[in-house]
C-alpha cells in the first residue's frame, strides 16, 4: 500500500493541470464577504464533489444563500483508528470596484508559475488542495479505516463562525486541520474579540446648560458622555501598555496583545449635551488566553476607573462582548488556538511535510486569526496548515505559488492516508 500512496503523491505533479482547474473553478464562484449571502452555488459544487467521492452530505444555511457543507466518509474501523476533520471557508475577502486588478479577480489566470485570483491564497487554494487529495485517494479505491470529515464553511471573513455551528452540531474528531493561509507552516493563533462600551446618562440636558456643569458654582452634576468616554479610552491605553510589559507569548512581538478603539458613536445633535456614547473596541490576545478572561480584565479595569470618577460612578459603563456577525450585529469572536507540539497529529503532519519538502516545517503562530480557534474551543486538537501567505491574503492581484499548492496537496494525500490508518491511543 505504501507503493500506492507514493504513486498518488507523484500523480499530484503529473495531474497538476486538474488541480489548477479545480482551484480556477472555485475562484469563479463569486463569494466575497462582505457582501456575503452568495455562496450557495459554490457550496453545492463542493457538496457534489464530496458526494462523488463517497461522502454523506449534511448541508444547512448559516444565513440565506450562505450554506455550510459537511461531508462525512465513515471509516471501516472507526472505533479503532484516528479520525480527522479538514476545515476551510468558502468566503473570500471583499473586492471593491476601484481596485486595480490585472484581470477579473474571479477569473483565475496563471502567470510566472503563480495563479492569480481572489481567494487563491485565502483560502480556496487550501480547499482545492485538500479536495484534490481526497479525490486521488478515492479514485485509487483506498478504504480508510478512520473517519474523515470535510467542513466547507462560510462566514469566516466577517466573523460569522460557520465552524462554530459545525461544532455545535456535534462534528468532532481526534484531530482537525484548518487548511487556511499559513505558508505551509504548522500554526496556532491568538484570538480576537470585539466589544461595545456604552456610557449612558439617565437624564438629558440642553446644550445651554453646559456652563452650569463645567464652571465653579454651576451646581449641576452632569457630564457629556462623549467627554467621559475620553477617560475610558485613556484607561484602555493604560491597560494595553500594562499588558505589553506583563504578558508575552513565544512567536509574537511584545505588545501584540492590543486594544483598538475602532469606532465611536455618540450624541443626539448640537442642541443636546451628549447623553450617550458608544465605543467599539477590538481586543487581540495570546494563544494561552481566552476571550472570557481578557474581556473580564477590560471590564474590571475600566469599572475601577469609572468608580473613581464623581459622575461615572453613578453612570457606570456597560459592556457587550462578541457577536455572531460583523454584518448582522457588528461583533465577532475568534477564539485562540494553542498548538500542542507533542500531539500525534501535529507530529505526523510535521513528519509528512519533512518527507515531501525535504525539511522540517516551522511550527509557530499566525499573526492573523482563523476558524481554527472554534475547533480548539470545542476541545478538538487542531492546527492551521495551508498554502499561501498573508502578504497575498486580501491583496489586490492575490496570488499563490503553484509549486507550493502542489507540495501542499502531496502532503495532504500522505497525511490523510497515514493519520486515518493510525490506531487510536
pLDDT tens per residue, range 264-290: 999 999 999 999 999 999 999 999 999
- Read out DSSP for 83-135? -EEEEEE--B----TT---SS-TTS-EEETTEEESTTIIIIIHHHHHHHHHHH
E strands, 127-234, in order: 148-153, 175-178, 186-189, 191-200
Of the pLDDT bands very low, low, confident and very high (cuts 50, 70, 90), residue 1 is: low
Which pLDDT score is estimated for 56?
98
Which pLDDT score is estimated for 4?
85
Average pLDDT, whole number, for the chain?
97
Which pLDDT score is estimated for 128?
98
Q: What average pLDDT does this structure show over 316-320?
A: 98
Calculate the CA dihedral of residues 87, 33, 282, 258 and round it to 10 degrees.
60
Which pLDDT score is estimated for 205?
94
> Is the Cβ–Cβ distance between 302 and 296 less than 8 Å?
no
Which pLDDT score is estimated for 3?
77
Q: For the segment 227-264, what is each residue's pLDDT rounded down to a tens digit?
A: 999 999 999 999 999 999 999 999 999 999 999 999 99
Question: What are phi and psi for residue 280, nearest 5 degrees?
Answer: -100, 120
Is the per-residue pLDDT at 414 higher than 80? yes
Q: Please state, in angstroms and rounded to a whole number, the distance separating the CA atoms of residues 8 and 323.
A: 44
Q: What average pLDDT does this structure show over 405-414?
A: 98
Q: Which domains does the chain have, with CATH numbers?
A: 2-189+337-420 (3.40.630.10), 191-321 (3.30.70.360)
Is the per-residue pLDDT at 380 higher than 70? yes
Question: What are phi and psi for residue 311, nearest 5 degrees?
Answer: -100, -45
Cα–chain-centroid distance for residue 70? 18
Give the residue from 262, 263, 266, 280 showing the smallest Cα distance to 201: 266
Q: What average pLDDT does this structure show over 311-323?
A: 97
Of the pLDDT bands very low, low, confident and very high (cuts 50, 70, 90), residue 339 is: very high
Is the per-residue pLDDT at 102 higher than 80? yes
Is the per-residue pLDDT at 112 higher than 90? yes
Q: Please state, in angstroms and rounded to a whole number, the distance separating the CA atoms of residues 425 and 420.
A: 13
Kindly give, in sequence order, each residue whose CB lies less than 8 Å from that of residue 26, ignoring residues fewer than 6 positions away: 42, 45, 90, 119, 124, 127, 128
Read off the C-alpha cell for 21: 482547474
Is the per-residue pLDDT at 2 higher than 90? no
pLDDT over 90 for what percent of the chain?
Answer: 98
Q: For the segment 119-143, what is each residue's pLDDT rounded down to a tens digit?
A: 999 999 999 999 999 999 999 999 9
Q: What average pLDDT does this structure show over 51-71?
A: 98
Q: How far apart are the first and last CA of the chain?
A: 23
* Range in 29-38, 189-198, 214-223, 393-402 with the lowest mean pLDDT: 214-223
Which pLDDT score is estimated for 425?
84
Is the per-residue pLDDT at 313 higher than 80? yes
Catalytic (active-site) positions: 91, 156
Neighbours of 87 (CB within 10 A): 32
Amino acid at each position: 500500500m505504501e507503493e500506492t500512496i507514493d504513486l498518488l503523491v507523484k500523480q499530484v505533479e503529473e495531474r497538476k493541470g486538474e488541480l489548477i482547474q479545480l482551484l480556477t473553478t472555485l475562484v469563479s464562484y463569486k463569494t466575497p464577504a462582505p457582501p456575503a449571502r452568495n455562496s450557495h452555488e459554490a457550496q453545492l459544487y463542493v457538496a457534489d464533489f464530496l458526494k462523488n467521492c463517497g461522502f454523506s452530505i449534511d448541508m444547512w444555511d448559516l444565513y440565506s444563500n450562505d450554506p455550510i457543507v459537511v461531508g462525512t466518509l465513515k471509516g471501516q474501523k472507526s472505533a479503532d483508528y484516528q479520525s480527522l476533520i479538514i476545515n476551510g471557508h468558502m468566503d473570500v475577502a471583499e473586492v471593491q470596484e476601484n481596485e486595480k486588478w490585472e484581470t477579473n479577480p474571479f477569473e483565475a489566470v496563471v502567470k510566472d508559475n503563480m495563479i492569480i485570483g481572489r481567494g487563491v491564497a485565502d483560502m480556496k487554494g487550501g480547499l482545492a488542495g485538500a479536495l484534490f487529495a481526497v479525490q486521488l485517494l478515492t479514485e485509487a479505491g483506498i478504504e480508510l479505516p478512520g473517519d474523515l470529515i470535510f467542513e466547507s464553511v462560510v462566514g469566516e471573513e466577517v466573523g460569522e463562525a460557520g465552524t462554530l455551528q459545525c461544532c455545535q452540531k456535534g462534528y468532532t474528531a481526534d484531530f482537525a486541520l484548518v487548511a487556511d493561509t499559513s505558508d505551509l507552516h504548522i500554526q496556532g493563533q491568538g484570538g480576537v474579540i470585539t466589544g461595545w462600551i456604552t456610557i449612558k446618562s439617565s437624564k438629558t440636558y440642553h446644550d445651554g446648560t453646559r456652563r452650569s456643569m463645567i464652571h465653579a458654582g454651576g451646581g449641576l452634576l452632569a457630564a457629556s458622555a462623549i467627554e467621559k468616554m475620553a477617560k475610558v479610552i485613556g484607561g484602555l491605553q493604560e491597560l494595553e501598555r500594562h499588558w505589553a510589559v506583563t504578558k508575552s507569548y513565544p512567536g509574537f512581538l511584545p505588545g501584540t496583545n492590543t486594544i483598538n478603539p475602532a469606532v465611536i458613536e455618540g450624541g443626539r445633535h448640537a442642541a443636546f449635551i451628549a447623553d450617550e456614547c458608544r465605543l467599539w473596541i477590538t481586543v487581540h490576545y495570546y494563544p494561552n488566553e481566552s476571550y472570557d478572561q481578557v474581556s473580564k480584565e477590560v471590564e474590571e479595569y475600566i469599572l475601577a476607573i469609572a468608580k473613581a470618577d464623581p459622575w461615572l460612578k453613578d453612570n457606570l459603563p456597560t459592556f457587550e462582548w462578541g457577536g455572531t456577525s460583523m454584518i448582522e450585529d457588528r461583533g465577532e469572536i475568534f477564539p485562540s488556538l494553542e498548538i500542542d507540539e507533542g500531539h500525534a497529529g501535529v507530529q505526523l503532519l510535521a513528519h509528512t511535510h519533512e518527507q515531501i519538502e525535504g525539511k522540517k516545517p516551522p511550527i509557530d503562530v499566525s499573526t492573523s486569526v482563523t476558524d481554527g480557534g472554534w475547533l480548539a474551543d470545542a476541545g478538538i486538537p487542531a492546527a492551521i496548515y495551508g498554502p499561501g501567505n498573508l502578504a497575498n491574503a486580501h491583496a489586490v492581484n492575490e496570488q499563490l505559488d503553484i509549486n507550493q499548492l502542489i507540495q501542499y496537496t502531496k502532503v495532504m494525500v500522505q497525511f490523510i492516508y497515514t493519520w486515518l490508518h493510525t490506531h487510536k491511543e
